[in-house]
């Protein structure tokens, strides 16, 4: 085990290090010992009493030779070649033989043969050892033969084999003993060699494993000093084994803070025999490597603790990988969690704040900011921040220019990485941020469908190189934010659209009513009151018709801001559609104050509106209702303001009206009537009256207008002028209209049967609401079919307002009615805004000139002019003309002069029940009013 240290330290005890040279050195040394020992024993022999026959001088010479040989062997023996040792042994044998011979007696020098023999058998190959033994045998034999000092004086017995004289037995036994001793030594030697070889092999195996192992192997003495250090240790720590050999591990390999723990583990090993733990190693470069150690106590041959072996694996990368994997998993989980919150509709501001915190945490940033591009001007607004800017969230905006980091980021292709802000040239980071000591940064765009929604990024105060994985993480957070922003914005748009008028962006009816309801429930009755103002632009249809809808829309858009300027910030303006605006003043003193506000609104509108360089003047009618204690819901308050507005309209343009008690009772009356009207058909309270339409030329009845009459139990007879508008408002006009149409058609059939002649065509009034109703045409067709009345016996009267409605459908409806074959009359002509173009477009057959023009005939020159113009126009367009409300002969006269062909009015007959009309229709005595100047006309 210690070979790899020994080699490393150049401390090989055997010179050149080969086993051969080691062996020779041992042989030389041993030889030297034997020579010297032999000589010394011989010297001792000489000094002590010894046989007189001894020739001491010769012996001293041999002895000196032996000492010289010993010295030679000691100093230069290791340089001898192996073969020379045969000579060393042989020389020994000869010197022993000489010593034996001259000792004068059988001496213990014979024992020296045993030494050289054993030496030969130990160190020389078996054959050469045998040769040396033979040499000993010959030399000893010669000695015995030359002078047998051993034979006792009384002589020898002959023995069985008389061989070599009396000393032969001694010689043979000596040689035999030497042979056996030699064999034993050889066997022993071989055994020892085998053992050594095996140990060497084992040792080589262990050391090659240790040398090539990637694991760190360190061997310590029990005092903690480093004894061995394998190549893996060298590569890992950067230290060479030599430089730290014998140093204490705590001196430099362990980080200071881990020394105490290492000491505990060390004691643990010493007492328990082994330990496993992880600790850091500080390398020569100052890096730290994390090592998993397995430490065991090593024992010597006797089993006593001797050293400590520590085997370690460098797990720095693995740990780092594990940590990175763990971190990545955590980040993925965090992004998933954020995405889930986004989907579950966590409000965007919270989600954004959480994103910033999450990014700062998972990327270990000191600062993190989220910038969102505002849809209005494209500036970047700080919507969340950790660290820098945290106090300015929602307030700090910067231009989305390329010279700012977020601005640069939203225009960049991918993640923007800043290694060192001090060296950044692509954009200039804000000074306060630099002052806060940031060094590195990372930012990405929050992607949008058309352009990025913004940017998210952060900074660190220490130098950092961000990994690809970290950039990916930031991008996934940006994607979650992008989805959330997109959804939030579309939801915001939906919310806004649901509560705002698309044209003017003012609050719509729903939002206004919501606010009003809120004000009503919150209101303090003792404090000032709220007021609702219903504002309707006067004659807005005229503007639409003359300038076109597009110009009309632009005017409507301009009205909102004008009104807003005339109000206080707490007041609000809404648009209810068309040209209707509503204002809520949350604090007004009394009705008079409210009217002052209303007049201010009038004034705000009075300044000209400029469209395409042309000035236009607008006025509005305003109805005001005060939210007095009696109102709990918005609806009645709105209705009363509306009623006041209608009253204002009745008074002419640009009027204001405050809803008052008189109006209240009127409204109440209307409400009562509304209730009374429900179920009129079922209660059979309706009747149809007929008024003749006559030819002005001869007074003959050319038609009958069917007019509705209602007699209510409690209210008595109610004029259609009162109940028809209510029926219109409530929608009841649709069933009522269907009822009178059917009633009139049935009457035609009855008259046909009763009189035997075809009665004049009957005209039935259609309200605008009926014309707009989808079922009108099928209903008319159905009535005609069921009653069997021919379509040309029926005329339908519509008003101008039907024609100027914006929708396309009245045109289709009138075409369809025309197709059925019925006659279409335009009622109350002249009161609306019909222009010639309308008349051309719509399939109208007859114009009914409104009563108001007929009224002034003969007295008002203007009226005559109008009637004249209408008659002329009708003629030009090939339309029939009926003058309504003819009451006097003078009017009749005028109409005739103006060329009007037909008339209707009290002069010819009031509306009357069917039964009273029948006599007028008889074939024989057809009703002919006595018309003045009739003969002249005929
Ligand atoms: P209108 O369609 O213009 O009907 C003519 C109105 O003038 C009738 O009033 C009629 O009685 C009245 N009148 C006729 N000749 C004279 C006259 O010489 N002098 C004066 N001052 N008035 C005259 P009435 O029946 O009260 O109906 C009023 C309005 O109610 C009608 O005006 C029409 O718009 C509506 N109306 C009546 N019945 C129906 C109906 O069945 N359906 C619909 N939609 N509206 C109806
Ligand atoms: Ca009519
Ligand atoms: Ca009329």
- Chain segment 146-160, per-residue pLDDT in tens: 876 556 656 666 666
DSSP states of 782-804 as a string? HHHHHHT--GGGEEEEEEHHHHT
> Could you tell me the distance, in angstroms and rounded to a whole number, from the CA of residue 846 to the centre of ligand 2?
12
How high is the pLDDT of residue 603?
93
- Chain segment 430-452, per-residue pLDDT in tens: 788 888 889 999 999 999 888 89
Ligand nearest to the Cα of 766, by number: 1
Q: Which residue has the least CA distance to atom 45 on ligand 1? A: 765
Strand-by-strand arrangement of the 226-229 sheet: 226-229, 216-221, 305-314, 288-299, 274-282
Q: Please report the sign of the dihedral spanned by the C-alpha atoms of residue 749, residue 753, residue 754, residue 757.
A: positive
CB-CB contact of 295 with 275 (8 Å): yes
> Could you tell me the distance, in angstroms and rounded to a whole number, from the CA of residue 763 to the centre of ligand 3?
11
pLDDT class of 547 with cuts at 50, 70, 90 = confident
Q: Which residue has the least CA distance to atom 10 on ligand 1? A: 911
pLDDT class of 164 with cuts at 50, 70, 90 = low
Tokens matching residue 121? 């058998």
Which atom of ligand 1 is nearest the CA belonging to 707?
38
Read off the pLDDT of each residue in 339-347 and give the average, rounded to a whole number. Answer: 88
Read off the pLDDT of each residue in 419-430 and give the average, rounded to a whole number. Answer: 86
How high is the pLDDT of residue 242?
84
Ligand nearest to the Cα of 763, by number: 2
Q: Which residue has the least CA distance to atom 3 on ligand 1? A: 828
> Could you tell me the distance, in angstroms and rounded to a whole number, from the CA of residue 276 to the centre of ligand 1?
112
Q: How far is CA 586 from the centre of its chain?
A: 43
Read off the pLDDT of each residue in 790-815 and give the average, rounded to a whole number. Answer: 85
DSSP states of 818-858 as a string? HHHT-EEEEEEETSS---HHHHHHS---EEEE-HHHHHTTT
> Could you tell me the distance, in angstroms and rounded to a whole number, from the CA of residue 747 to the centre of ligand 3?
22
Instruction: Using the predicted structure, report yes or no on whether residue 674 has a pLDDT greater than 50.
Output: yes
> Could you tell me the distance, in angstroms and rounded to a whole number, from the CA of residue 704 to the centre of ligand 3?
13
- Chain segment 592-614, per-residue pLDDT in tens: 889 999 999 999 999 999 988 88
How high is the pLDDT of residue 545?
81
| Greatest C-alpha distance within the chain | 220
Return the best residue to mutate from 707, 726, 797 for the ligand 1 pocket (most ligand atoms within 8 A of CB): 707
Distance CA 17, CA 454 (A): 77
pLDDT class of 752 with cuts at 50, 70, 90 = very high
> Could you tell me the distance, in angstroms and rounded to a whole number, from the CA of residue 754 to the centre of ligand 3?
29
CB-CB contact of 27 with 123 (8 Å): yes
Which atom of ligand 1 is nearest the CA belonging to 706?
41
- Chain segment 615-673, per-residue pLDDT in tens: 888 999 999 999 887 788 898 899 899 999 988 988 888 899 999 888 888 888 888 88
Which H or E run contains 303? none
> Could you tell me the distance, in angstroms and rounded to a whole number, from the CA of residue 852 to the centre of ligand 3?
10
Distance CA 767, CA 246 (A): 117
Read off the pLDDT of each residue in 486-503 and give the average, rounded to a whole number. Answer: 88
- Chain segment 166-192, per-residue pLDDT in tens: 667 778 888 888 899 999 999 998 899
Query: Pick from 116, 125, 124, 56: which is nearest to 91 by CA?
Result: 116
Which atom of ligand 1 is nearest the CA belonging to 886?
18
Distance CA 387, CA 459 (A): 10
Instruction: Using the predicted structure, report yes or no on whether residue 782 has a pLDDT greater than 80.
Output: yes
> Could you tell me the distance, in angstroms and rounded to a whole number, from the CA of residue 133 to the centre of ligand 1?
168
How high is the pLDDT of residue 82?
87
How high is the pLDDT of residue 599?
93
Which atom of ligand 1 is nearest the CA belonging to 764?
41
- Chain segment 572-596, per-residue pLDDT in tens: 999 998 899 999 998 888 888 899 9
- Chain segment 897-913, per-residue pLDDT in tens: 999 999 999 999 999 99
Distance CA 673, CA 29 (A): 148
Return the best residue to mutate from 765, 855, 891 for the ligand 1 pocket (most ligand atoms within 8 A of CB): 765
- Chain segment 320-330, per-residue pLDDT in tens: 888 888 888 89
How high is the pLDDT of residue 158?
62
The larger pLDDT score, comparing residue 378 to residue 440, is at: 440
Q: Which residue has the least CA distance to atom 15 on ligand 1? A: 905
How high is the pLDDT of residue 737?
96
pLDDT class of 17 with cuts at 50, 70, 90 = low
How high is the pLDDT of residue 681?
92
Which atom of ligand 1 is nearest the CA belonging to 904?
15
How high is the pLDDT of residue 834?
58
Which atom of ligand 1 is nearest the CA belonging to 884?
15
pTM above 0.75, yes or no: no
Q: Which residue has the least CA distance to atom 8 on ligand 1? A: 707
How high is the pLDDT of residue 929?
46
How high is the pLDDT of residue 925?
45
Place of tokens 């007189």: 52
pLDDT class of 525 with cuts at 50, 70, 90 = low
Residue 507: burial class (beta carbons within 10 Å; 0-12, 13-18, 19+): buried
**Which letter does DSSP use for residue 273 in this model?**
S
How high is the pLDDT of residue 152?
61
Q: Which residue has the least CA distance to atom 22 on ligand 1? A: 885
Q: How far is CA 327 from the centre of its chain?
A: 18
Q: Which residue has the least CA distance to atom 7 on ligand 1? A: 885
Lowest average pLDDT, out of 14-18, 74-78, 298-302, 530-534, goes to 14-18
> Could you tell me the distance, in angstroms and rounded to a whole number, from the CA of residue 670 to the centre of ligand 2?
23
Tokens matching residue 735? 């069933």
Return the best residue to mutate from 687, 706, 724, 768 for the ligand 1 pocket (most ligand atoms within 8 A of CB): 724
Read off the pLDDT of each residue in 1-14 and give the average, rounded to a whole number. Answer: 37
Distance CA 860, CA 854 (A): 10
> Could you tell me the distance, in angstroms and rounded to a whole number, from the CA of residue 879 to the centre of ligand 3?
17
pLDDT class of 423 with cuts at 50, 70, 90 = confident
> Could you tell me the distance, in angstroms and rounded to a whole number, from the CA of residue 707 to the centre of ligand 1?
6
pLDDT class of 807 with cuts at 50, 70, 90 = low
Q: What is the mean pLDDT of the chain?
A: 87
- Chain segment 80-131, per-residue pLDDT in tens: 898 899 999 999 999 999 998 898 766 788 889 999 999 999 999 989 999 9
Ligand nearest to the Cα of 769, by number: 1
Instruction: Using the predicted structure, report yes or no on whether residue 28 has a pLDDT greater than 50.
Output: yes
**In sequence order, what are the residues at sequence separation of 6 or more whose Cβ sits closer than 8 angstroms to the Cβ of residue 177?**
114
- Phi first, then psi, for residue 536 (nearest 5°) are -125, 125
How high is the pLDDT of residue 376?
74
How high is the pLDDT of residue 130?
93
- Chain segment 210-242, per-residue pLDDT in tens: 888 889 999 999 888 888 888 998 988 888 888
Instruction: Using the predicted structure, report yes or no on whether residue 72 has a pLDDT greater than 90.
Output: yes
> Could you tell me the distance, in angstroms and rounded to a whole number, from the CA of residue 703 to the centre of ligand 2?
12
Ligand nearest to the Cα of 885, by number: 1
**In sequence order, what are the residues at sequence separation of 6 or more whose Cβ sits closer than 8 angstroms to the Cβ of residue 488?**
347, 348
pLDDT class of 5 with cuts at 50, 70, 90 = very low
How high is the pLDDT of residue 14?
37
Which atom of ligand 1 is nearest the CA belonging to 733?
44
Return the best residue to mutate from 717, 718, 720, 912 for the ligand 1 pocket (most ligand atoms within 8 A of CB): 720
Q: Which residue has the least CA distance to atom 35 on ligand 1? A: 720
Percent of the chain with pLDDT over 90: 45
pLDDT class of 932 with cuts at 50, 70, 90 = very low
> Could you tell me the distance, in angstroms and rounded to a whole number, from the CA of residue 827 to the centre of ligand 2?
6
> Could you tell me the distance, in angstroms and rounded to a whole number, from the CA of residue 931 to the centre of ligand 2?
23
Q: Which residue has the least CA distance to atom 26 on ligand 1? A: 720
> Could you tell me the distance, in angstroms and rounded to a whole number, from the CA of residue 885 to the centre of ligand 3?
8
Q: 416-418 and 880-883: which strand pairing?
A: unpaired
Ligand nearest to the Cα of 707, by number: 1
> Could you tell me the distance, in angstroms and rounded to a whole number, from the CA of residue 721 to the centre of ligand 1?
8
Which atom of ligand 1 is nearest the CA belonging to 740?
41
Q: Which residue has the least CA distance to atom 19 on ligand 1? A: 885
How high is the pLDDT of residue 142?
86
Q: How far is CA 741 from the centre of its chain?
A: 65
List residues near ligand 1 (CB under 6 A): 691, 707-708, 719-721, 724, 737, 740, 765, 767, 827-828, 851, 884-887, 904-906, 911
How high is the pLDDT of residue 931?
46
């Amino acid at each position: 085990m210690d070979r790899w240290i020994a080699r490393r330290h150049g401390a090989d005890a055997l010179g050149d290090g080969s086993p051969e040279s080691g062996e020779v050195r041992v042989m030389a040394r041993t030889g030297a010992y034997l020579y010297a020992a032999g000589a010394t024993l011989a010297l001792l022999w000489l000094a002590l009493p010894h046989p007189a026959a001894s020739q001491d001088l010769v012996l001293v010479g041999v002895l000196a030779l032996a000492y010289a040989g010993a010295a030679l062997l000691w100093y230069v023996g290791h340089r001898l070649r192996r073969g020379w040792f045969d000579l060393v042994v042989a020389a020994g044998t000869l010197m022993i033989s000489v010593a034996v011979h001259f000792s004068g007696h059988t001496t213990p020098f014979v024992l020296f043969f045993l030494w050289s023999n054993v030496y030969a058998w130990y160190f020389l190959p078996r054959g050469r050892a045998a040769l040396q033994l033979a040499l000993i045998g010959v030399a000893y034999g010669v000695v015995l033969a030359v002078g047998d000092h051993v034979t006792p004086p009384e002589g020898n017995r002959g023995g069985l084999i008389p061989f070599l004289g009396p000393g032969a037995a001694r010689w043979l036994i000596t040689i035999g003993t030497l042979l056996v001793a030699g064999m034993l030594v050889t066997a022993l030697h071989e055994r020892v060699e085998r053992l050594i070889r095996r140990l060497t092999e084992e040792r080589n195996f262990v050391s090659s494993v240790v040398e090539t192992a990637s694991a760190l192997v360190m061997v310590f003495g029990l005092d903690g000093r480093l004894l061995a250090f394998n190549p893996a240790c060298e590569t890992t720590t950067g230290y060479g084994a030599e430089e730290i050999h014998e140093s204490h591990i705590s001196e430099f390999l362990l980080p200071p803070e881990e020394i105490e723990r290492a000491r505990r583990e060390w004691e643990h090993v010493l007492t328990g025999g082994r330990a496993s733990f992880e600790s850091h190693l500080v390398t020569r470069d100052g890096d730290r490597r994390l090592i998993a150690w397995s430490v065991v106590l090593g024992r010597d041959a006797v089993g006593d603790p001797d050293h400590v072996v520590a085997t370690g694996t460098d797990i720095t990368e693995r740990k780092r990988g594990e940590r990175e994997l763990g971190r990545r998993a955590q980040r993925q989980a965090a992004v998933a969690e954020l995405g889930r919150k986004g989907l579950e509709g966590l409000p965007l501001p919270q989600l954004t704040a959480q994103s910033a915190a999450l990014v700062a945490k998972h990327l270990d940033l000191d600062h993190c900011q989220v910038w969102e591009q505002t849809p209005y001007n494209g500036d970047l607004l700080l919507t969340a921040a950790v660290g820098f800017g945290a106090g300015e969230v929602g307030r700090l905006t910067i231009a989305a220019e390329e010279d700012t980091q977020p601005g640069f980021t939203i225009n960049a292709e991918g993640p923007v990485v800043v290694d060192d802000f001090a060296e950044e040239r692509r954009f200039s980071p804000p000074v306060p941020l630099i002052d806060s000591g940031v060094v590195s940064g990372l930012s990405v765009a929050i992607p949008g469908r058309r352009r990025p929604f913004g940017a998210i990024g952060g900074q660190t105060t220490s130098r950092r190189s961000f990994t690809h994985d970290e950039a990916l993480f930031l991008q996934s957070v940006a994607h979650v934010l992008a989805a959330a922003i997109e959804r939030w914005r579309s939801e915001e748009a939906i919310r806004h659209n649901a509560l705002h008028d698309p044209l003017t962006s003012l609050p719509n009816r729903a939002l206004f009513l919501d606010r009003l309801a809120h004000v009503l429930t919150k209101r303090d009755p003792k404090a000032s009151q709220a007021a609702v103002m219903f504002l309707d632009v006067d004659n807005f249809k005229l503007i639409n018709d003359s300038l076109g809808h597009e110009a009309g829309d632009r005017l409507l858009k301009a009205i909102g801001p004008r009104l807003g300027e005339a109000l206080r910030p707490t007041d609000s303006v809404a648009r209810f559609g068309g040209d209707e605006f509503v204002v809520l003043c949350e604090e007004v003193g009394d009705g008079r104050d409210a009217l002052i506000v209303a007049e201010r609104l009038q004034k705000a509108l009075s300044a000209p509106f400029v469209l395409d360089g042309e000035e236009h003047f607008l006025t509005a009618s305003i109805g005001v209702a005060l939210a007095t204690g009696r109102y709990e819901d918005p609806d009645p308050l709105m209705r009363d303001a509306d009623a006041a507005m209608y009253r204002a309209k009745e008074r002419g343009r640009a009027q204001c009206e405050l809803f008052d008690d008189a109006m209240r009772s009127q409204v109440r009356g209307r409400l009562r009537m509304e209730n009374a009207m429900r179920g009129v058909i079922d209660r059979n309270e309706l009747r149809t009256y007929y008024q003749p339409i006559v030819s002005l030329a001869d007074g003959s009845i050319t038609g009958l207008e069917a007019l509705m009459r209602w007699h209510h139990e409690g209210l008595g007879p109610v004029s259609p002028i009162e109940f028809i508008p209510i029926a219109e408002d409530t929608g009841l006009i649709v069933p009522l209209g269907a009822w009178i149409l059917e009633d009139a058609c049935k009457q035609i059939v009855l008259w046909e049967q009763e009189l035997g002649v075809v009665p004049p065509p009957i005209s039935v009034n259609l309200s605008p609401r009926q014309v707009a109703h989808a079922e009108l045409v099928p209903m008319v067709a159905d009535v005609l079919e069921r009653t069997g009345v021919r379509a040309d016996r029926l005329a339908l009267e519509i008003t101008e307002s039907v024609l100027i409605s914006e929708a396309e459908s009245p045109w289709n409806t009138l075409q369809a009615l025309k197709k059925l074959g019925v006659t279409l009359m335009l009622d109350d002509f002249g009161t609306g805004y019909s222009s010639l173009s309308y008349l051309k477009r719509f399939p109208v057959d007859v114009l009914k000139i409104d009563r108001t023009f007929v009224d002034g005939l003969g007295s008002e020159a203007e009226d005559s002019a109008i009637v004249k113009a209408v008659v002329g126009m009708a003629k030009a367009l090939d339309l029939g003309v009926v003058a309504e409300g003819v009451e006097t002969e003078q009017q009749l006269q005028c109409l005739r002069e103006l060329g009007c062909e037909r008339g209707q009015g009290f002069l010819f007959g009031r509306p009357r029940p069917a039964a009273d009309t029948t006599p007028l229709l008889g074939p024989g005595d057809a009703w002919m009013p006595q018309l003045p100047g009739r003969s002249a006309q005929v």
